[in-house]
Each structure stands twice: as structure tokens, then as C-alpha cells.
């Protein structure tokens, strides 16, 4: 019963902190509770979708930094492990959503094709609508799919809904 008493004390002590930021504190609370009372917590089933990830890309696709390359690889790995993944492109990264963006000869990975593949396999994708005419090397050219045009309101909603937000 000592473990149960400790668990109850822990819950009462951290209740206010837990409520103030539910998403991040839930993971912390579960971790601490597992140390006090391992029987009280269970791990999600293997392959369960237990987190939502948002990757925000802002840099030109083939700029020599591999930011876009690594972001798309991470998105694919997260999706393959059963997580829910969203990608939002803005600023010069919007060129990733244009058919006119060509893979340079010295580059071994077609980023536009990878983005299309991720989107076809269930990764949610939105591209800044106002950036279409203003940003990227191919400013003014349309995106490869008119349904992916997004907005700041959509991005704000995604940021609020997701457990993890990463920028590249």
C-alpha cells in the first residue's frame, strides 16, 4: 500500500502543474507515476499512433544543408513507426511542392518525389498559400496539387494539436 499512497500524494501535489499544460505534462506524469507504481501505467501497443508530429520546413530544398532531405527522411521514419505526421512548407521551402523544382545532377535524392510519396502514403501536407506567389526560386508557379494550399490559420491549428513541432 505504500506505493499506492505515494502515487496518490504525487497526483495531488502535481495536479495544478499537470492541468496547466496537459500535453507535455502527461508524458512527465506517466513517467513519474511509473517509477512509484509500475502497475498503474501501461505502455501503448506496439505500432499504435500515440503522438502527432508537425514538421515545418522553411529552407530552399537543394541549398546544400540537407535540411529538407533530413526532414523528409524523419517524416518517413515516423510514419513507418505508426506516428501521425504533418508537414507544413513555408518561405522558400514551398519549392518542394512545385513540379518545376528539379533535382540537381549532383544530388542523389529527389526531394519533390519523396514529398509526393509521403503525401500519397498518408502524411498530411499543407503549403503556405501566400508564399505561392512570393517565395522560392519558382515564385508564382503553382503547387503540384491545389488541395495542399494552406494558411496561417491551418498552421496555427496544427501547432496547437500536435505533440511535437519541429522546424527545418
pLDDT one-digit tens code per residue, 43-58: 445 545 479 999 999 9
Backbone angles phi, psi at 38, to 5 degrees: -55, -25
d(CA 41, CA 103): 48
Please give the model's pTM, rounded to 2 decimal places: 0.70
Mean pLDDT rounded to a whole number for the chain: 82
Burial string for 59-71 (b: 16+ CB within 10 Å, else e) reads bbbbeeeebbbeb
Backbone angles phi, psi at 70, to 5 degrees: -70, -35
Residues 1-15: what's their mean pLDDT? 53
- The pLDDT of residue 36 is above 80: no
Structure confidence at residue 18 (pLDDT): 44
Amino acid at each position: 500500500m505504500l506505493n499506492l499512497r505515494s502515487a496518490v500524494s504525487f497526483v495531488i501535489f502535481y495536479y495544478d502543474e499537470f492541468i496547466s499544460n496537459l500535453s507535455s505534462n502527461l508524458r512527465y506524469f506517466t513517467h513519474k507515476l511509473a517509477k512509484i507504481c509500475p502497475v498503474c501505467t501501461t505502455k501503448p501497443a506496439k505500432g499504435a499512433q500515440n503522438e502527432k508530429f508537425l514538421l515545418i520546413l522553411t529552407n530552399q530544398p537543394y541549398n546544400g544543408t540537407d535540411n529538407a532531405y533530413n526532414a523528409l527522411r524523419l517524416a518517413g521514419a515516423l510514419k513507418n513507426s505508426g506516428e501521425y505526421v504533418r508537414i507544413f512548407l513555408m518561405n522558400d521551402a514551398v519549392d518542394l511542392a512545385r513540379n518545376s523544382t528539379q533535382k540537381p545532377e549532383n544530388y542523389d535524392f529527389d526531394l519533390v518525389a519523396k514529398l509526393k510519396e509521403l503525401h500519397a502514403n498518408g502524411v498530411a501536407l499543407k503549403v503556405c498559400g501566400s508564399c505561392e506567389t512570393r517565395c522560392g526560386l519558382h515564385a508564382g508557379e503553382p503547387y503540384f496539387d491545389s488541395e495542399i494550399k494552406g494558411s496561417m490559420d491551418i498552421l496555427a491549428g496544427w501547432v496547437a494539436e500536435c505533440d511535437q513541432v519541429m522546424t527545418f
